[in-house]
């Protein structure tokens, strides 16, 4: 499966300490395993992955015949849902 990051997600990853960045990348590469829930109130099928106090908001997209995991946002629990 191909993984595509939004510009905001890349920026958030670059600003994190190296240990946390590795933990989040490992969690993203391990999808569909982990603490994943669908988000309510959105027209697309957004989901969130919980990694400690951080959340990764993503959804699946189709690109030709391939499924693409699109990482929209990465942030702390209190800020990501605003």
User: Within a domain: residue 2?
Assistant: no
| Range(s) of the domain holding residue 69 | 15-76
Tokens at residue 62, please?
């189709």
Half-sphere CA count of 15, side-chain side, radius 13 A = 9
Residue 19 lies in a domain: yes
**pLDDT tens-digit profile, the chain (82 residues):** 899 999 999 999 999 999 999 999 999 999 999 999 999 998 899 999 999 999 999 999 999 999 999 999 999 999 998 8
- Does the global pTM surpass 0.85? yes
Q: Is residue 41 part of a domain?
A: yes
Q: Report the distance separating Cα 5 and Cα 81, nearest Å.
A: 18
9 found inside a domain: no
**Domain total of the chain:** 1
User: Does residue 62 lie within any of the structural domains?
Assistant: yes
């Amino acid at each position: 499966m191909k993984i595509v990051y939004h510009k905001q997600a890349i920026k958030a990853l670059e600003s994190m300490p190296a240990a946390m960045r590795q933990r989040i990348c490992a969690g993203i590469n391990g999808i569909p395993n982990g603490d994943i829930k669908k988000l309510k109130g959105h027209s697309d099928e957004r989901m969130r992955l919980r990694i400690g106090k951080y959340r990764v908001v993503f959804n699946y997209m189709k690109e030709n015949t391939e499924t693409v995991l699109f990482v929209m946002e990465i942030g702390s629990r209190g800020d990501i849902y605003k």
